[in-house]
Every structure is written in C-alpha cells, then in structure tokens.
Structure 1
Amino acid sequence: MTRNMSDIIEAYLKRILQEAENGVVEVQRSELAELFQCVPSQINYVIGTRFTVDQGYIVESKRGGGGYIRIRQITCEGPQALPEVIKQVGERISQREAEGLIERLHNQGTITSREASMLRAAMSRDIFRMELPARDEVRARLLTQMLIALLGSA
C-alpha cells in the first residue's frame, strides 16, 4: 500500500496527539512543512480535511510570526459529553457531517451498531424533502433530540 504525503502527515499528527498528555497538540505550519519537505498549503489541506469537527477535532490557528495550529481531540463518551456533542451539531448539520459524528460515537462505543444505523437512516437527505439550508437545520434539530434521548439516558 502506497501512502501519500497527506496520509503520512495525518498519521504523524494523530500519533503526537495520542501521545499528548492533555489531548492537545500545538504545531507550527512552517516547521511541519520543513519536516515533511512540502509546502505549507499541504499542511493546511491535511488539517482542513482530516481534522474536522465531524471527525472529532477542534482546530484553532494563529497566523503570522509565532503563529501556531492547535489541534484538540474531542471525546464523546458518556452523558457528560452530551453538551459537547450537541455543540458540534450546532444549528445546521450536513448529512456527511452527521454521518461522521454518528460513526465517531459508534467507534467510541457511545452508541450501539443498531442505534448508529437508525440515526444514519434518519439523517438521510432522502428523508428531508426540502431545500438547503432548511434541510440541514431540520436535520440538526432532529439529531440533537435523538442524541439527547440516547445519551441523556445513559
């Protein structure tokens, strides 16, 4: 299996994130670009596509001299995580984002396979016969209520 540069950068960032005691890693874009001998936009691409909220990460960045990228992994375990999960859903959520969140909840053992299947079915764009942004707003409200019912009773 051939791994491309994006896969290598992603694996590196996930490894140092896993090793971080507080679940937060702070890196400099230019240092990563130098380490992997790539352009800084490659680092931006990896962080922008592989460290998203629906994949369980919060990314903060500060540009300019002394700038940094801070990546924090979000866990969704137990009822104490409910406010964080609901915050991730927000006012609107796309089908892809909802499916990513559901998958993460399932992978972390927060919800069962059956619950994940039912949530995915309810999030399908085929269910919501309306235009955007109303579709994503209704999906967010429905997902929020379903998560409250599932996680709030845990």
Structure 2
Amino acid sequence: MQSQNMSDTIESYLKAILAQQEQIEIRRAEIADRFNCVPSQINYVIKTRFTPQRGYVVESKRGGGGYIRIVKTHLRDDQTSLAVMRANVPARLRVRDAQAMTQQLFDAGVISQETGNAMLAAMSHHTLAVADSRLEEMLRARLFLSFLDSLRYE
C-alpha cells in the first residue's frame, strides 16, 4: 500500500471536513501542530489544492485573530457557473488544472463523460506537443476558454 505524503494527508483532512459542511475556518498554526509540520506546509496545500479551478474560494485574515476560510463552491446554473469558471481561467493553464476544471464541469452535470474525455484529449500534453511549456499552457488556456464558450449554446 502506498503511503500518502504530508500534503495529501492535510488535503484529505480538510476535504473530509468540507464534505460535512459548506465552509471551514482554520488557523494555520493549529493545523500545522495537528500534523506536526511547519505552517508554510499548510499554505502550500491551500494554495495548490484549494483553488478556484478546483471549485474552492479561499479567504484569509491575518493577525492574532486571523483565520483561513475555505468555501466549496457549488455550480448554480450553467450560465452562471460557466461565467465564474471562465473568469478564473488563468492565462496559462496546467494539465492538472484543466483536468480538475473539466472534472468539476462533469460533476456538476454541465458536460457528459464523452465531452469531458474529448476536452481532456484535446488539451493533453501529447496532443498539443509543443516544446515550450509556457506556450503549451497558453494554448491549453485558450482551448479551455473556447470549450467554455461553446457550452453556452445548445
């Protein structure tokens, strides 16, 4: 059995809480103590695993009474969700983020499995086959935006 790394463990813990409630407020130091890690590890997990592309909104307040609030977003209707997702597509889109966003569309019932698989195939590293990773990520972002635009019409 393969063991999880610390980031995976922290992510699983936070997602388990989010599965039971719409949002959570955490204190970075408390979570770091719980997992016996440095607080920057918590920052890393939140910054990389709880992004708008993955369906989360993160708010933070610094200082002694500070907190980090993580909210799982829910797609309301197709047009609203597509507009929100479109507004959060970065200029350069990594394969991992494209996969997560496509999965979010599928999970919300916006696209079928076949459509999702076609989108993923079109945005794959193999299909784009560009030596410059920055250019590949820019092309992937433009493709994803085009897919989102095409979903607005029946």
Q: TM-score range by the shorter chain?
A: 0.7 to 0.9
State TM-score, norm by structure 2: 0.77
Q: Structure 1 runs of 4+ off > 6 angstroms?
A: none
State the Cα RMSD in Å.
2.7
Deviates more, 1:49-58 or 1:106-115: 49-58
Aligned length: 151
State TM-score, norm by structure 1: 0.77
Give ranges in structure 2 of 5+ residues lacking alignment: none
Per-residue CA deviation, residues 65-109 of structure 1 (Å, 9 max, x unaligned), is: 222212122234531211111122132212221122112222333
For residue 136 of structure 2, what is the aligned residue in structure 1? 135
1:120, CA displacement in angstroms? Answer: 0.6
* Preserved contact between residue 55 and residue 72 of structure 2 (Cα < 8 Å): yes
1:40 aligns with 2:57: no
For residue 117 of structure 1, what is the aligned residue in structure 2? 117
* Preserved contact between residue 77 and residue 109 of structure 1 (Cα < 8 Å): no
* Preserved contact between residue 89 and residue 98 of structure 1 (Cα < 8 Å): no
For residue 153 of structure 1, what is the aligned residue in structure 2? 153
> Quick one: structure 1 residues 112 and 26, their matched pair in 2 at CA, closer, same or farther if it must change by over 3 Å?
same
> Quick one: structure 1 residues 140 and 74, their matched pair in 2 at CA, closer, same or farther if it must change by over 3 Å?
same
> Quick one: structure 1 residues 130 and 38, their matched pair in 2 at CA, closer, same or farther if it must change by over 3 Å?
closer
Secondary structure at the counterpart of residue 47 of structure 1: helix
1:6, CA displacement in angstroms? Answer: 4.1
For residue 17 of structure 1, what is the aligned residue in structure 2? 18
Give ranges in structure 1 of 5+ residues lacking alignment: none
* Preserved contact between residue 61 and residue 68 of structure 2 (Cα < 8 Å): yes
Mapping for residues 101-112 of structure 1, pairs under 5 Å: 101-112=101-112
For residue 60 of structure 1, what is the aligned residue in structure 2? 59
Secondary structure at the counterpart of residue 93 of structure 2: coil
> Quick one: structure 1 residues 10 and 115, their matched pair in 2 at CA, closer, same or farther if it must change by over 3 Å?
same
Q: Partners of 1:134 and 1:128 in 2: how far apart?
A: 10
Read off the aligned partner of 2:93 and give its amino acid letter.
Answer: I
